[in-house]
Structure 1
Amino acid sequence: MTTRVDRRPGHRAWAVLVALLTAFAGVLVVLPAPARAATAITINGSSGGRVFDGVGAISGGGGNSRLLVDYPEPQRSDILDYLFKPGYGAAMQIMKVEIGGDTNSTSGAEPSHEHTRGTVNCDRGYEWWLMGQAKARNPNIKLVGLSWGAPGWIGNGNFWSTDSIDYLVAWLGCATSHGLTIDYLGGWNERGRDLTWYKNLRSALNSRGYPNVKIVASDEFGWGTADDAQRDPAFAAAVSVVGSHYVCGYRSAQTDCPSSATAVNSGKALWASENGSDDYNGGAPALARGINRDYIDGKMTAYLNWPVIAAITPNVPWSTTGVAVAPQPWSGYYSIGKNAWVMAQTTQFTAPGWRYLDSSTGYLGGNRANGSYVSLKAPDNSNYSTVIETMDATSAQDLTFGVTGGLSTGTVHVWSTNVRSSNSADHFVKRADLTPTNGSFSLTVQPGYVYSITTTTGQGKGTAVSPAQGALALPYADNIDSYATGREAKYLMDHQGSFEVVGCGGGRAGQCVRQMSEQTPIFWTSGHAEPFTLLGDLNWRNYVVSTDVMLEKSGYAQLIGRATNYNHEGPQNLNAYYLRVADNGSWSIRSNNTSGNQRTLASGSTAALGTGRWHQLTLTVNGSTLTAALDGTTLGSVTDSTWVAGQVGYATGQGVPAQFDNLSITPLGGGSSPTGQVRGSGSNRCLDVNGQSQADGATVQIWDCNNGANQTWTATSSNQLTVYGNKCLDAPSSSAGARVRIWSCTGAANQQWRVNADGTITGIQSGLCLDVNGAATANGAAVVLWTCNGGSNQQWIRS
């Protein structure tokens, strides 16, 4: 029997019919799936397109690279290789650095090269070191300088002044003294623009030996700078690059990335001069879209991610942003994120000076949901690379390529990153080469990937491995004498003001830490904090912190204990205890929080400390008892249980120079017990069984700490967290978002937890973090499993 089957499009039942008929004949027929339509892409070397300026990131805005310089070898070099070394990791092509201004600019404060008018020190801070390390690995990396805040002497508080131009020229001179060439210079980050100032800056650069330094304006949101350049030819002549921030939307998926018609037609290079602010793993899909779509949608030729790295402790805002995290120089621990490998899919296959091929760039099948592709050619007019992202695709796509316009028709190398995978083995993978036939070849691309196809070689994936995390052990002491003048003491992270190593005053030999900001700075943040700096481990609990202090002028100095989180828009809003002493002898023990609610817990007066005289200041935090001492004599004591663990630090009044020496932190008994409260770092509320229920399935939340049985948890030797003696913290599934509960202990893996040195608690079965849903801080907020991201809602303190 012969059967005719209509296989025309639209007759989807044909396969079913054939199966039925052949079954009757006793024959099993397996029919192939209908073929997918292929998307054709022509890579045309004759296409016009703009010159590519590079992909890179920002060190600054602020303090986000601080701890990197304190890392031991070989980990420090390994991290730097992953950031900058060609053929190894992120292979950054541009790095923008903050021109330090002695004031907080998001995740910390960076020191100025000129704290006071006319006194320039080119060895302050770590940005010179970082630029030098980047250049040593990639001599072709482009360097950019930009100010966030500035010392208050500039223009008597007015950034748009001749003072700031002189200040920036002095900074360029410092770069020269370090053997560094700065390629681009900006104005004032996200704080508007003064057209006359930019014209004057251009004139100053030309007349004072820096005619080749190009000006970027104006590092704001939107493209109004291009409109101003159209109206003002002199301003247009001063500016080489129009730079805009978060062109696809702030912390967006980066699906649509337009500029403006005026910007495109301005004749200027257009840059996405700050993007990102996303987790070093979680931000990878947006990064993959944005690098391609900035050019496709808006003709932007540079993409700068904020920041380079999160080399900061977990209590600092944005503690997991960048392409890597490096929060523990004492253990050497670091982690390279998916962002690094997404970035590498462009940077390891191109170079500044390559040219985009506009006719070989666009959206797959003309549909944004399928993904995007950009093609670039090398200056030799032969080699080329095409970068393809399929972040939003739902199925595989067949692509056919034709190469023309004088480009190489030789072997095509293929690399890919599976952005949807958390397995590092799936990131930056060398795939089988393709051999074109008459300039044509095909590739099937899977959803959620970035692919790079190229005729170049030299790509590679670094193999260095991080050591395990570990706590910063107590006792800890630093006499400050081992540092060069102008540097920062090990692990000390400035968050406002500038705490710098200098020769000691007051008749003391050796080196001391001095607060250098002698007047109110030109702030960048909206919250105007007084100078403070922090050091240490968030899990330090009961200890005595002691330091020598000398006030140089009337005012007060402070010793900080149990410091945890602060609000980056108001960095004075720090969760911590403070011991404050003033030159007139007044003293107080204070508590502050991220809402800026400062409480005086105890206060009094003692003999005047005066100025220019050294004194020993001691704060003891032991359980709920806080004790202050001066020169070995107790000032007072008070009971308060608001903060149970955290870092130490120094602080001063605004504009008060003071010196500190001989830091000492000594642990006390009564450390972390296997049994006690589990307090959320972000909320300062306790892990709590809802309604004091003891029933299986009762949900877990956060609630005001009250020492109730439903808040008393025991960490067992079998990795359980038990409550009521016989109920275990239990995860009903291994999915992100699963709400944790209590359940009768079974010994199963879903009831096993790892309490980590960084304050996180991770499920052994799921690998996910114990998380307060939505970073909520209110009573009753749900506790769930979530992908670990370093947020304060995933930090826990056991007491």
Structure 2
Amino acid sequence: MRRPERAGRSVRRPRHSRVRAGALAFLLTVAAVLTVSPQPAQAATAITINGSSGGRVFDGVGAISGGGGNSRLLIDYPEPERGEILDYLFKPGYGAAMQIMKVEIGGDTNSTSGAEPSHQHTRGAVNCDRGYEWWMMEQAKARNPNIKLVGLSWGAPGWIGNGNFWSNDSIDYLISWLGCATSHGLTIDYLGGWNERGRDLTWYKNLRSALNSRGYASVQIVASDDFGWGSADDALRDPAFGAAISVYGSHYVCGYRSAQTSCPSSATAINSGKTLWASENGSDDYNGGAPALARGINRDYVDGKMTAYLNWPVIAAVTPNVPWATTGVAVAPQPWSGYYSIGRSTWTMAQTTQFTAPGWRYLDSSSGYLGGNRGNGSFVSLKSPNNRDYSTIIETIDASAAQDLQFTVTGGLSTGTVHVWSTDLRSNNPADHFVRRADLTPANGTFALTVQPGHVYSLTTTTGQGKGTATSPAQGGLALPYSDDFDAYATGREAKYLADHQGSFEVTPCAAGRAGQCIRQMSEQAPIFWTTGHAEPFTLLGDVNWRNYTVSSDVLLEKSGYAQLIGRAGNYNHDGPQNLNAYYLRVADNGSWSIRSNSTAGAQRTLAGGTTAALGTGRWHKLALTVNGSTLTAALDGVTLGSVTDAAWVAGQVGYATGQGVTAQFDNLSITPLAGPAPTGEIRGAGSNRCLDVNGQSQADGSVVQIWDCNGGANQRWTSTSSNQLTVYGSKCLNAPNPTAGARVQITTCNGGAGQQWRINADGTITGLQSGLCLDVTGQGTANGTAVALWACNGGSNQRWIRS
């Protein structure tokens, strides 16, 4: 899946809420508890909810854990916050209440926002306790025993098929993964092939035969988790392939990162009689993506008869420098502080999942578009297997006015009380999300409801719905000094906060006579990559706001090659070879060393280097990289190798790295802080690496602020004061004269006004105290002169700032 940066913003519109009964007597009865709309509704739209209507069986709405390490930090959260987050994701009647979850079958290679470890790094060496996906599935099942589980590979270790995924090796590999699931008490319901990498029809037929013969006949195969419905066309030409497949799964059926207004499948797919899934969607911000999610869940069925909707991903439990750091239905970027945030997408998903269950059946004649017009919104109706209960989910995302809906219930469905819940997706106020409304009481099987624009509504005869009440603690930075000797972890596990982005770094017994546990890079050859950029193994840890420090670690090379310490690691680009904003200290077994810099554009530079005594293999050495202001210093075994001056990167994480296929061990990680940041200095955009700059070096009140190449000018030197001001030129303050989204910031003479009050947050965002909005580089731009304005905080790299 290609995931370009998101552009564009939604426009806020007024919110209203109103419910209207269908008959005058009923209207008078409930009028006292209803909010009257200030605008007249249009002529009523009639909807019949007919329990006798035909329709497909509903398989569920859920999300994907994987396709890039997006759940990595969740397991490191403390309690009770970890349990609270899991409840919001999986617990019925509490939050998103996911009904289906796809997990990545780890392959030791980056698959968008990280790499997940394989259960079989080398042929035959199976370890069923690696990684966190087993734990994720166990936690999901503990909260919802009925959740359906799906497995899918993005990449794989290089030993499989000598680099050919479509081989018998990969079939054996997948079956061994199913065996691991069994050892964890987990039943996998569905299994896929190779994510978004086409299909080999013979391979799928062989997979079906192998599953049947090795005790997994109940596992259904999904094909081919790619774009389009070519699998259905292939099945017409190859009936044996069609017989092997249970589900045709397609990605981004409404368009990649689109508004999800139109979501067709194909006539061949629909007429095949097979189950159809929208098996990956989303890739959108956990708040901003909610309107598209609301459309897509309904319209996938209305337009294309798809009976499952899988959002990518479940959660963004990653640090903010990682690609797609705010996607999913929630974010959890700080296990050290316990901070998390539940997005509007959680409540959008809940509007379906808390009112249905897999095994319910869609009612085709009771699903469609309001008034036959896509612009008015869509609705779907489903009935329970008891043939009495039903739920209707309505979205009015694009509607421009209130709409009166007149419902008639027939076909043996309950004519009892109808419970109403709604979410206002044009509101940023959590109190407007997943709200229980006044019940409706049908009269002679009829009732009426007035729906407002920009909402999702759920009408149901069921009970048990609810909205979780747990709240997150405040954000906070990861304090220095920080150290880890790795002795507290079991073999095969990942160290706390250490997140792999290529290769696999896991805990193993230390080598060369050293007692205790160490971190080892486990990938012994180039993997079967999923990304187009073939980065070498690296893993990152820590706070993106760490600035001046020494990172040190003991290192042992197991084979000829090099190992690296990483400092000031910032943003990275998963589609390039090691395209990471960072500094590196590289040492090789032959004694060569270098201090290097790299960027997301792949601009690798050697800043300093030389040769020292050969390190050899199988021997322990102590490496240290000091980053202090613009001075970078390398040391080996306590002896300084060299220093150099460079100002490309001013803050970021630490990490380990090796050459491709180089196995190495690391121990006794230590990060020691140096002098804190100066009170006056540059403020750099994390996404652009350009400085907050007063246009034209002007000192006049009203001069606008932009981003520009960092040059040390007085118009780029900002001071954070004890009175919450950001000053420049000594007497001018950063000012937001208009506290609304999209308003450009400027400088004015400091006067203590509300628009001059700012809070610098632990995640690197800068928030206006008056507006609550974030300082934002407009349009996620990176060019010189791009405007800086206020915008709703969304965690994007264009809203994170680094102080020098």
Shift of 1:774: 1.5
Aligned AA (1:493): A
Q: Which of 271, 286, 298 pairs up with 1:280? A: 286
Q: 2:81 aligned with 1:75, yes or no?
A: yes
Q: Secondary structure at the match of 2:578?
A: strand
Q: Deviations over 1:476-523 (max 9, x none)?
A: 000000001110000000000000000111111100000000000000
Q: Percent identity?
A: 85
* Residue matched to 1:790: 795
Aligned AA (2:539): T
* Residue matched to 1:759: 764
Q: 2:500 aligned with 1:487, yes or no?
A: no
Counterpart-to-counterpart distance in 1, 2:401 and 2:408: 23
Q: 2:432 aligned with 1:426, yes or no?
A: yes
Q: 2:683 aligned with 1:678, yes or no?
A: yes
- Of the structure 1 ranges 224-233 and 493-502, higher mean CA displacement relative to structure 2 is found in 224-233
Shift of 1:793: 1.2
* Residue matched to 1:704: 709
Aligned AA (1:704): D
Shift of 1:571: 5.7
Counterpart-to-counterpart distance in 2, 1:343 and 1:33: 29
Q: Deviations over 1:182-237 (max 9, x none)?
A: 00000000000000000000000000000000000000011111101111100000
Q: Deviations over 1:532-551 (max 9, x none)?
A: 00000011111011000000
Say what the alpha-carbon RMSD is for the aligned residues. Answer: 0.9
Instruction: Work out whether residues 104 and 571 of structure 1, in 8 Å CA contact, stay in contact via their aligned partners in 2.
Output: no
Aligned AA (2:166): W
* Residue matched to 1:535: 541
Q: Deviations over 1:6-44 (max 9, x none)?
A: xxxxxxxxxxxxxxxxxxxxxxxxxx9877311111000
* Residue matched to 1:9: none
Q: 2:783 aligned with 1:778, yes or no?
A: yes
Q: Which of 316, 319, 325 pairs up with 2:322? A: 316
* Residue matched to 1:6: none
* Residue matched to 1:741: 746
In structure 2, the CA distance between the partners of 1:143 and 1:333, relative to structure 1 (3 Å rule), is same
Counterpart-to-counterpart distance in 1, 2:241 and 2:258: 32
Q: 2:363 aligned with 1:357, yes or no?
A: yes
* Residue matched to 1:5: none
Q: 2:174 aligned with 1:158, yes or no?
A: no
Shift of 1:673: 2.4
Aligned length: 767
Aligned AA (2:744): R
* Residue matched to 1:585: 591
Counterpart-to-counterpart distance in 2, 1:665 and 1:545: 4
Shift of 1:568: 2.1
Shift of 1:757: 0.3
Aligned AA (2:324): W
Q: Secondary structure at the match of 2:672?
A: strand
Instruction: Work out whether residues 186 and 217 of structure 1, in 8 Å CA contact, stay in contact via their aligned partners in 2.
Output: yes
Instruction: Work out whether residues 105 and 525 of structure 1, in 8 Å CA contact, stay in contact via their aligned partners in 2.
Output: yes
Aligned AA (2:720): A
Counterpart-to-counterpart distance in 2, 1:506 and 1:786: 54
Shift of 1:734: 2.2
Q: Which of 558, 561, 566 pairs up with 2:567? A: 561
Q: Which of 658, 674, 678 pairs up with 1:652? A: 658
Shift of 1:289: 0.3
* Residue matched to 2:392: 386
Q: Secondary structure at the match of 2:471?
A: coil
Counterpart-to-counterpart distance in 2, 1:501 and 1:795: 32
* Residue matched to 2:307: 301
Q: Secondary structure at the match of 1:570?
A: coil
Aligned AA (2:521): Q
Q: Which of 665, 670, 690 pairs up with 1:664? A: 670
* Residue matched to 1:29: none
Counterpart-to-counterpart distance in 2, 1:473 and 1:775: 29
Instruction: Work out whether residues 678 and 711 of structure 1, in 8 Å CA contact, stay in contact via their aligned partners in 2.
Output: yes
Q: Deviations over 1:81-129 (max 9, x none)?
A: 0000000000000000000000000000000000001100000000000
In structure 2, the CA distance between the partners of 1:319 and 1:631, relative to structure 1 (3 Å rule), is same
Instruction: Work out whether residues 495 and 571 of structure 1, in 8 Å CA contact, stay in contact via their aligned partners in 2.
Output: no
Counterpart-to-counterpart distance in 2, 1:294 and 1:198: 26
Q: Secondary structure at the match of 1:494?
A: strand
* Residue matched to 1:604: 610
Q: Deviations over 1:67-91 (max 9, x none)?
A: 0000000000000000000000000
Instruction: Work out whether residues 108 and 503 of structure 2, in 8 Å CA contact, stay in contact via their aligned partners in 1.
Output: yes
Q: Which of 161, 171, 174 pairs up with 1:168? A: 174
Q: Secondary structure at the match of 1:78?
A: helix
Shift of 1:748: 1.6
State the 4+ residue runs in structure 1 displaced beyond 2 angstroms: 32-36
Q: Which of 432, 439, 454 pairs up with 2:460? A: 454
In structure 2, the CA distance between the partners of 1:33 and 1:70, relative to structure 1 (3 Å rule), is closer
5+ residue gaps, structure 1, are 1-31
Shift of 1:472: 0.2
In structure 2, the CA distance between the partners of 1:571 and 1:344, relative to structure 1 (3 Å rule), is farther
Instruction: Work out whether residues 710 and 723 of structure 1, in 8 Å CA contact, stay in contact via their aligned partners in 2.
Output: yes
Shift of 1:764: 1.2
Counterpart-to-counterpart distance in 2, 1:188 and 1:469: 38
In structure 2, the CA distance between the partners of 1:602 and 1:394, relative to structure 1 (3 Å rule), is same
* Residue matched to 1:21: none
Aligned AA (2:793): C
Aligned AA (1:542): N
Instruction: Work out whether residues 41 and 450 of structure 2, in 8 Å CA contact, stay in contact via their aligned partners in 1.
Output: no
Counterpart-to-counterpart distance in 1, 2:733 and 2:308: 52
Shift of 1:703: 1.1
Q: 2:568 aligned with 1:523, yes or no?
A: no
Shift of 1:701: 1.0
* Residue matched to 2:4: none
Aligned AA (2:513): G
Aligned AA (1:465): T
Q: Which of 709, 720, 734 pairs up with 1:715? A: 720
* Residue matched to 2:55: 49
Q: Deviations over 1:556-588 (max 9, x none)?
A: 000000000001222610000000000000000
Counterpart-to-counterpart distance in 1, 2:505 and 2:252: 32
* Residue matched to 2:730: 725
5+ residue gaps, structure 2, are 1-37
Q: 2:469 aligned with 1:435, yes or no?
A: no
Q: Which of 178, 184, 203 pairs up with 1:197? A: 203
Q: Secondary structure at the match of 2:207?
A: helix
Counterpart-to-counterpart distance in 1, 2:628 and 2:233: 61
Q: What's the TM-score, normalizing by structure 2?
A: 0.95
Q: Secondary structure at the match of 1:373?
A: strand
* Residue matched to 1:397: 403
Aligned AA (2:197): R
User: Within 5 A, what are the aligned runs for 1:32-431?
Assistant: 36-431=42-437
Instruction: Work out whether residues 130 and 492 of structure 2, in 8 Å CA contact, stay in contact via their aligned partners in 1.
Output: yes
Shift of 1:769: 1.1
Counterpart-to-counterpart distance in 1, 2:552 and 2:129: 29
Structure possessing the higher radius of gyration over alpha carbons: 1
Counterpart-to-counterpart distance in 1, 2:688 and 2:441: 58
Aligned AA (2:340): Y
Instruction: Work out whether residues 113 and 322 of structure 2, in 8 Å CA contact, stay in contact via their aligned partners in 1.
Output: yes
